[in-house]
Every structure is written in structure tokens, then in C-alpha cells.
A and B are shown apart, each in its own frame.
Chain A
Amino acid sequence: MPTLALPELLVLATALVVLVADLFVGQVGRRQLLPVALVGVCAALGALLAVVPDSGELLGGRFAVDPLGWWFKLALLGAAAGVLALAQPAWQGDGRAGPTLANRGEFLAVLLFNLAGMLVVPSARDAVTFYLALETATMPLFLLVAWRRNAAGAEAALKYLVVGALASAMLLYGLAWLYGVTGTLDLTAMAGRLPATPAAYLGLGLVVGGLGFKLTLAPLHFWAPQVYAGAPLPVAAWLGTASKGAAVAAVVLVLYRVAGPHAQGWTLAVALLAALTMTIGNLGAVVQTNVLRLLAFSAVSQAGYLLVGLCGATRDGAAAVTYYLLVYVVTNLGAFAAAAVVHHHTGSQDLAAFRGLSRRHPLLALAMMLALFGLAGIPPLGGFTGKFFLFAVAAQADLHGLVAVAAVNSTVSLYYYLRIVRQMYIEPDDSAAPATPTGLLPGLALVTATAGGIALGVVPWFYETVRAAAAGWP
């Protein structure tokens, strides 16, 4: 039943096509490769929507699709399409933001291989597949971060690599312990055999810690600001959306599928991590003046919110986390797309680059504002409904302290999101910057992301469907 893996196969095929085509087309033709990659991703998206059933198995049960995993893949493919679209100006490279990405055409291939790995994560059902998928979802990122081949990118990539190496070692060593205490690599079988022994705690804790690096949980988040700011902007967007999505899928897999029966044991740890992560992320964001560093800390805090939904391992939690991931991907894409346009025209990552944007480009400013309000969780946007469901999960688990911390954090987050809004709407437009055309693909990404952020907030169908998809979860 290869249709089950059709999106993954299509992504891989596109990656190969782009890689080979890059060898044969000239500098001009190379610029057309991005639309080709985008078409490939959209084809995979179409395949997911049209052919992939919402459950099934492949490779002797090592690769499986379940209804919730289907939604994760939707978020990942959507993020990929969005990032490719917003990468267009950087790819074409006729702005003030430095050399083009098209000079090194393998960029798209690496990104698509990376995506293929991410797509497998929610489908992995044994430790081998899981580990390989995660490494494929991580290692290309080190390269992508350094893609501009400048000092800042190389330095960021090195730090990313060092922390990532440790996380990878923790993950693998933890998996080894889980294998040891259960005697199986099958993740579902593990759940039944996981004992309540220190060795099991060691294994589980190290795995969660290793995944926490990808999810930027505090205190594994330190790499994030420098990497976001040092990487090419589309890569930062990629880190902030798809990579985060794959990490959430992996965490849900481990905590629900493997350690679900032990939810009593790990809920406290997850709640503390969530509280610490959102607090560190929000406090860090408050003092930033670089928009990408701000978005990096914001992404840290959002990871904290996502973790709130995992407390207690309930069906509602699974639904809330998946739903918020959709919201988060769409909303963050909007913010990154707007930042990409501004960065392309000003060459600056400073918050001041947004000064007076509402006068230069009212719609762009509006889209950015809606994205930021979505991240802050202001009704009626998706960010509000998503957070509402997440916090409701914590309240159900009697973690009222966590809900209070999360509520205070949401307030703090509004402060720094509004700082950008202030630059756009209140500060006078004293820059000599000309009108800021968005370009076709980034414009499309912006419109789609904004509409999606609103639709997720006001159309109840999304949450209801996701919740129905979470039926099989504990």
C-alpha cells in the first residue's frame, strides 16, 4: 500500500529532481527550481488530502498512519509550502538581504530531505525508524543554518551542532535503556512492558531531554536566538515551524504511545518544564531588539504552551496539542513571512525596520499584526482558541498553578508582540524605504496564513475534527 507513504515519496522524488536539475540548469534556470520544489510539496499535500487514508500500516507495522499523525503531516507539509513561498525573495535575491540562496541550489534538496524525515516522525512505530527519522529531521538543519557561509551562520551552526550532538547522544542512550528494560524496539509494545524502575526513568528522561532540544524546551533552548538570527531567514522560519512540528510529533509519540500508561509519573515533570520554558521564553523576548531573536524566544515560549496540553495524557490533550500546533504553524508562518518581506527590502533584522510599515504597506502590516495577535492569543484568532483548549487541559488535570503561570505569561508576551505593532502603527515612517512589494509567493503565503489563523479561530469544524481524530488516544 504505497499510497500510505505517497507524500513522503513525492517529497523525496522532488528532492532528487531538484538535486539533479540543479546540475544541469544554468544560473537563470536555477531560479525556477523553487517553484518546482513548491509544486512538489503541494503535490504531496494534495496526495495527503486526497489519497492517504487516515489509518494504515506499512513495512510490517514500522510505518503507520493514524488520524492524528495525518494532521501532523498536514501541518508539516503546510509549513514546508509556506516556507518555500516566503523564501522566494531570498532565493531570487534581488533585495538588500545579502547573497541569494539560489547560488547554492542544493538548498532545496537538503530542505526537502529534511522534510521527508520530519514526515516520517509521526508515522514511526519502532525505535529504529523513529531514530532515523529524527536524525534526518535534525542533521540537515545544521547545514541549512550555515547556508550563507558567513561567519555568523557558521558560528550559529557550530553551537547548534554542539548542543544538538549532546541531545542526540542523550536520545540514543535513552532509547538504549528503554530497549533494555522492555526488550523490544516496537514502540507500542514498549508501552505495555515499561516497568516503573529507575532504569526506565533514566531512559525516558533522557529521551524527553533529547527531544526537548528540538522543541527548544528550557534549559535546552540556549542555541535558539543565535541560530534564528544567524541562519538565512527562510531557515529560521523552517526551524520555527516545521522543525518544531516534528519535535511535537516526536514528544507526543514518546509520551503518549510509549509512556502513556505512566502519565501520572511524568505529568509533574512536563508541567514544570512547560512553566519554565514559557517563562524563560517570554522574559527573554521582552528585551530583544532583533526581530528574529524575538521570534526565537517567542518560539521557546510557544513550546512551553504546547507542553501544557500534554499534561495528563488525555484525549483532549492530544487534540489540543495537535490543534495548537496547526494554529502555531500557520500564525508563525504569517509572522515570518512578513518579517521576510521586510528583511528583504531593508536588509535589517532590527525591530526598527518595521517603523511606519502601516503607511508603506498597510496590508502587510495588518497581516503581521494579526499574526502577532494570534501568537499572543487574542480572540477571535486561532491563537486564542488554541491556548484556551491547552489551558483547559491543564485545568482538567488540576494543575491550576500552571494555568495561572500560563495566563501571566500570555500577558507578558503581549508586551513584546505589541512592541512590533507599535513600530508598525504608531512610530512615524521616517525611513526612506520605498513601497514594499511583497512578491507573488510571499504574498500568497501571507494571505493564506492570515486567513488560516482567522479561520482556525472562528470555524469550530477544525477543532472538532481534530478532536475526533484523537479518538484513539488515551
Chain B
Amino acid sequence: MTCDHSAIVQHAWVIPALPLLSFALVGLVLRPLNARLAGAVAAAAVALSAALGWWLAFDYLQFAPPAEPLPTLIPWQVEWLRFQDGLRIDAGTLLDPASVLLVVVVTTVSALVHVYSLAYMKGEPGYGRYFAVLNLFTFSMLGLVLAPNLVQMFVCWELVGASSFFLIGFWYDRPAAVAASKKAFVVTRFADLGLLLAILLLGQAAFDVRTQLGASAGDSQALDFAFLGRADVLAALAHQAPVLGGMTALTLGCLLLFVGGAGKSAMFPLHIWLPDAMEGPTPVSALIHAATMVVAGVYLVARAFPLLAAADGVLTVVLAVGTFTALFAAAIGCTQDDLKRVLAFSTLSQLGYMMLALGTCGGGDPAGRSAALFHLFTHAFFKALLFLGAGAVLHAAHTGDVWHLGGLRRKMPLTHALFLLATLAIAGIWPLSGFFSKDEVLAAALHGGHPLVFAVGLGVAGLTAFYMARVYLLVFWGEPRREASAHVHEAPLTMVLPMGALAVLAAVAGFVPVSRWVALPGTAEHAGIDWLVAGPATAAALAGFGAAGWLYGGDLGRSDAAVARLGRLYGALRHKFWIDELYLWVARKVMFRLVAAPIAWFDRMVVDGTMHGVGLLTRLCGAGVQAAQTGQAQAYAAWALAGGLAVVGLLWAAGRAG
């Protein structure tokens, strides 16, 4: 099988290797020399990577006739760590429909964002650094997507987290950016602990299973996805004895796995870092905090899907968390004033959508998984486009406050048109991409036997249309409300072109039969558009548009009146239900005062005191050694003689004892 692979399938590792190489080159060599060249090289490397990604996708799709499922391949892997037989960790490339799909998304969006950034970041002091880290991120994300086992995935998982940290804090002289990067790091790192524990727990359990299986385990390793997805392994895992609180290692491990995924994908209640992460440069928000990194959690759940499906009740948790996050974030999104923050909450809401789609598979039909990956695919394009559009607005007007903007459609006609297209796409208007993927998500909820979730999904669709139309109208229609937005100009071509490319993708991505490709065996085929779902969804979207048009399309006084009518609810939404404040209170009052303060005291007085004492003692002894350097050659010689005689004496003593 391996011999007839085409070159790119055989050597898919080149796709992540290119950005890594470029990271090293740009970061170490070019950055101090020539910033412009550094940016160009970084963009070129990722563009090449994207071209190879598309080539890979086309070649990969040739593998199966239309009726058969696409194969899962590991064309390349090398041994990386060997703990013991059966617990070997390889580094490699796992190719299956989901990973190839993500490769295309990641490389494409990344390449477009690189090009966009060439103009957007012009004149920034950290130009070279920016592109180096962006390269590092692209490499890590591709490594994550292509990981054939949980450990490679975890390493890349941490790497994307680190690059996200660097990029959120890119303007490290702004306190808000520093705080946001710290917050993102702490919150996601906390969640990553769940993933790490899950890997340890599942690794141990799977290793036991592998030992039981004996020879039939073959060469597969305990933490390989291929091994974890085998039916006999899953059955054995499900029948293991409970480890904690009546849960098997499988259930507990899957829950912890989901905690990790929820942190990265900013699910409630770990969502608080994502809106703050908007302090980073806007192209970063588009790439990392909308299109790629934040979907890593969804991808993780989709990748480990057989495990989660085999574990009791975990998919129900996924469903509940996803549904709640979708609704909660969409509601908050309706009240935010900052353009990027609205988009951030929109991302949260859409990620909730994907999670809820995954959660609907509890009934046995994995249609929701296909829907989630499909929505991930389309969302990447239209959300990245929205962010890049917002970036163009920010670039021109230097403010993201929608109440300071207004009337930009005449000054920035291209940006306006592209933003409008993305707005329609995310709202799910036929024939744009969001329509198709949202349709599948809702259909999965309805046919999976979750009518309540379906209803919430419809509501979220309406809210999505509402908040998107709200910001769209406030930014592009009406008259400029502040001086800043009166003298804006259209974005340069290097920014508009990537946006145009994304717009094309956002428009047509819905016609790509993604869900058929990524479908697991056992997925019910469904043909065409399910109007039972699409009808209400479109109606909800149009209702949202109508409400927004009425409130924000003409007389803004109507919206003020509505705000006054909503009163407390509006306040709660506007303050994001005070979740951030709650975290702060817990952190300051409970953790700092009751836990951290005594530890800090102990650290300062006892640990540091001991350390200072040891250091002082060492220096005193050193001074003693130095004092023996009297400069008297004959004293040195006497010591030398004493040393020689001491060796003689020791030999003699040892000889007598022995």
C-alpha cells in the first residue's frame, strides 16, 4: 500500500517542516538583518506549504472511488521516545479525511493571514519577531493536526499555546496585552493539565489492555489513535474496573480530555481568556483565535471520538457544555461595543455549535461529528474573513468601538462588500457556506433526538444574525459618529486580496462535500438540503436581521429604548454575567489570600532564608579556598607532597584493610 502513494502523500511531513524551517531561518538569521525580507520569507514558506496542502488534499481524495470511505494512512513516522515495548511514541503524519481537511484549512488561512500581515504589521518594531512566531504557530498547528498519537498532539498542543501566548502579548509594552496573554496562558494551561492527566490515565489503561491482548495487539502502540480506536480495545477499556467515583479510566480520561479541549476551544466556564485575547494583532485573532487554534479542542474531540463515544455520558457533557456556550456567548455578543470582542463572542458561540454537534452523537449516529468538522471548515473561512475585515477597519480608523465608527461603506467599499458577504455567510443565508454547515449541525441535533438542543440552536442562529447585523449596520451604515471614522481610506491591495480569497472560499465552501468525506462508518446518508431544518433556521436568521435592522438600521433611539426596557438583563449580558469578576474574586480572595500568601511567606522566610544562608556559606568557603592561594610556591609544593603522601597512605590503609 505504501509504495504507490504519490510523492506528497509519502512526504506530507514537508508541509509542517517548511514553516519550522522558516521559523528557524527568520527567527535566528533574517529577523535582525532585514525585517521586510523576514516577512516575505515567512509568508512565502507558508504559501508554499499551503500549495502543498492543496496538492495533498487532491491526491488524497484520489484514493477511493466515490462509494468507498477514504483510507487512514501513516505514510511516515519515526521512533521518538521508547518507554517500553508497547509504549513507544512516534513522531509521524497521520492522514485521514479530518487531518487532511485541517491541513488545508490551517495552511490556507495561515498563508492568507501571512500575506495580509505583510501590510497590516508594516512599521511595527517587532515585524520579524511577529512572522517568526506566526511560522512557529503554523508548524505547531500542523504537527497537532497530523499527530498519529496523543503525545505528539500534546506537545504541539503546548506549542500552539505558547505561540498564542507570544502573539497575544506581541505588544508587550501595553499592560492590557500583557495581562491578556497571561490570562490566556494560565487558563489554557490549567485546562491542558486535564489533557495531560487524560493522556496518563488513558495511556496506562490502554497499555494494560494492550498487555491483555498480547500478540493480537501487533505493532500498535498504546497511545496511538489507531490503537485507541479499535473496537476490541474500546470494548476492553469500557469493561475495566472503575478507578474513581464509579467511573472507569476510560470515562474519567475522556472527561479530562474534554477539559483540555474545552480550555483550548474556550468552552464555558473556561471561555474567559478568548475575548481578552483580542488584545493581540488582528491577523493573529483571525488565524489563531478564530480559524485554527481554538478549533483544536473540537478537533481533539473529533479525533478521539471513538473513545468519547465508548465512554458513558461524556458526549452528554459535551452536548450540554457546547449548547450552553453557544447560547451564552451569542447573547453576550449582542451587547458588546468593541468590534473584535463581538467577533470573539461570536467565535465562542460557533465553537459551542461545533461542540454541540459532536455531543449529539450519543445516540450512535456519528452524523454530528461530520457536521462539526464541516462547520469547522466553513467557519474558518468566514470568521477569518470577518476578522480581517475588522482588521482593515481598525487599520484605517484606529478604533474598534462600533459607536465611534459608522458610514464606512462609502470610504471602504471593498471591505464593506467582503464584510457583508461574511456576515451573510455566518448568519446562514443560502447559498453561502454557513447555510450548509449550520443546516447539518441543526439536522444532527434534530435527528439525534435532541429537540431542545435544536430549539436552542435555532435561537442561536437568530442571535448570530442579530449581533452580526448590529455591528455591520453600526460600522458601515449611518453617518460617521466620530472624527476618526470620517477620514478613513480603503485598505491596501495586499490586505484586500487575501480577504477576497477568503471571501471566495467562504462563499463556495458549503458546496464541498466535506461531511461525506469525513463521515465515520455507520453514518446515515442524507441527501440534499433538509428543509425541515433549513426553513426554520433561515427564518430565524432573517428574524435576527429584521430585529437588528429595526433597532440599528435607522433611528438609534430605538435601540436605547430597547436597552432601557431590558434593564438588568442587558447589564448582566454587557458585563458577561460577571464571570471574569467571579474568577478574579476567587483568585484574589481565596487563592491568593488563603493559599498563596502563607506559601509566599514560607518561601520568603524559610526557603529563601536557607538559600541565602547556603549561598553565603558557599562564598565564605570560597573565600577560604582563595585565602589558601598565598602565592608561596614552596607552600604549594608542600601541599603537593602532602597530597602524594596522602595517596600513598590511603593505598596502604586500603591494602591493610583488604
Contact = CB atoms under 8 A, between A and B. Distances in A.
Interface of A: 158-159, 162-163, 165-167, 170, 196, 198, 201-202, 204-206, 208-210, 212-213, 217-220, 222-223, 225-226, 264-269, 272-273, 280, 283-288, 297, 362, 412, 415
Given A158-B633, A196-B655, A286 B642 contact: no
B651 interface: yes
Nearest to B644: A209
27 contacts: A162-B637, A163-B633, A167-B640, A170-B641, A196-B655, A201-B652, A204-B651, A205-B647, A205-B652, A209-B641, A209-B645, A210-B644, A213-B640, A219-B642, A264-B654, A265-B655, A266-B654, A272-B650, A283-B621, A284-B622, A284-B629, A285-B622, A286-B618, A287-B619, A287-B625, A412-B618, A415-B618
Contacts of A165: 637
Pick from A208, A209, A266 the residue with the most CB of B within 10 Å: A209
Contacts of A226: 629, 631
Nearest to B635: A222
B636 interface: yes
A167 B642 CA distance: 11
A403 B641 CA distance: 27
A209 B640 contact: yes
Interface of B: 32, 615, 618-619, 621-626, 628-629, 631, 633-637, 639-652, 654-655, 658
Given A166-B637, A223-B636, A268-B654, A208 B629 contact: no
B636 A222 contact: yes
Given A265-B658, A280-B625, A283-B622, A208 B647 contact: yes
A162 B634 CA distance: 7
A201 B648 contact: yes
Contacts of B648: 201-202, 204-206, 209
Contacts of B644: 170, 205-206, 208-210, 212, 220
Nearest to A264: B658
Contact of B618 (A213, A273, A283): A283
Given A205-B644, A283-B624, A284-B625, A265 B651 contact: yes
Contact of A205 (B626, B637, B651): B651
A163 B32 CA distance: 51
A201 B649 CA distance: 8
Given A158-B633, A202-B648, A218 B643 contact: yes
A163 B652 contact: no
For B636, B641, B647, B652, which residue has the most chain A Cβ atoms within 10 angstroms? B647
Nearest to A203: B648
A222 B628 contact: yes
Nearest to A268: B654
Contacts of B629: 222, 225-226, 284
Contact of A219 (B633, B640, B649): B640
Given A284-B626, A286-B618, A198 B634 contact: no
B645 to A, nearest CB: 7
Given A265-B658, A283-B622, 4 more contacts: A201-B651, A208-B647, A265-B651, A286-B619
Contacts of B32: 362
| Most chain A beta carbons < 10 A, residue from B623, B633, B643, B658 | B643
Given A219-B642, A286-B619, A209 B631 contact: no
- Which 4 A-B residue pairings sit nearest by Cβ, starting from the closest? A209-B644, A205-B648, A269-B650, A286-B622
B77 to A, nearest CB: 20
A225 B631 CA distance: 10
A205 B634 CA distance: 21
Nearest to A266: B651
Contacts of B626: 284, 287-288
Query: In the complex, which of the residues A166, A213, A222, A362 has the most CB atoms of chain B within 10 Å of its own CB atom?
Result: A222
B637 to A, nearest CB: 4
Contacts of B621: 283, 286
Nearest to B647: A205
Contact of A287 (B622, B631, B639): B622
Contacts of B635: 222
Nearest to A267: B654
A268 B654 CA distance: 8
A57 to B, nearest CB: 31
A208 B645 CA distance: 10
B560 to A, nearest CB: 55
A163 B640 contact: yes
Nearest to B32: A362
Contacts of B637: 162-163, 165-166
Contacts of A225: 629
A219 B639 CA distance: 6
Q: Which of B636, B641, B649, B658 has the most CB of A within 10 A?
A: B636
Contacts of B654: 264-269
Nearest to B654: A265
A209 B646 CA distance: 9
B485 to A, nearest CB: 42
Given A205-B647, A269-B647, A412-B618, A283 B625 contact: yes
Most buried by A among B625, B633, B642, B646: B625
Contacts of A267: 654
A471 B652 CA distance: 30
A138 to B, nearest CB: 14
A220 B623 contact: no
Contacts of B618: 283, 286, 412, 415
A284 B629 CA distance: 10
A255 B644 CA distance: 15
A327 B648 CA distance: 31
Nearest to B630: A222
B652 A198 contact: yes
Given A163-B636, A166-B640, A213-B640, A268 B622 contact: no
Contacts of B622: 283-287
Nearest to A366: B28
Contacts of B652: 198, 201, 205
A88 B624 CA distance: 37
Contacts of A170: 640-641, 644
B623 A287 contact: yes
B643 A219 contact: yes
Contacts of A362: 32
A212 B649 CA distance: 15
A268 B647 CA distance: 10
A25 to B, nearest CB: 38
A12 B235 CA distance: 75
Nearest to B615: A415
A159 B633 contact: yes
Contacts of A223: 633, 636
B512 to A, nearest CB: 44
Contacts of B650: 205, 266, 268-269, 272
Nearest to B640: A220
B636 A159 contact: yes
Nearest to B639: A219
Nearest to A206: B644
A210 B649 CA distance: 15
A285 B618 CA distance: 10
B622, B631, B649, B652: most-surrounded residue (chain A CB, <10 A): B622
A44 B631 CA distance: 39
Contacts of B619: 286-287
Contacts of A159: 631, 633, 636
B143 to A, nearest CB: 20
A363 to B, nearest CB: 9
A302 to B, nearest CB: 16
A416 to B, nearest CB: 9
A204 B645 CA distance: 10
A291 B309 CA distance: 63
Given A204-B651, A283-B625, A162 B658 contact: no
Contacts of A415: 615, 618
Contacts of A212: 640, 643-644, 647
Contacts of A283: 618, 621-622, 624-625
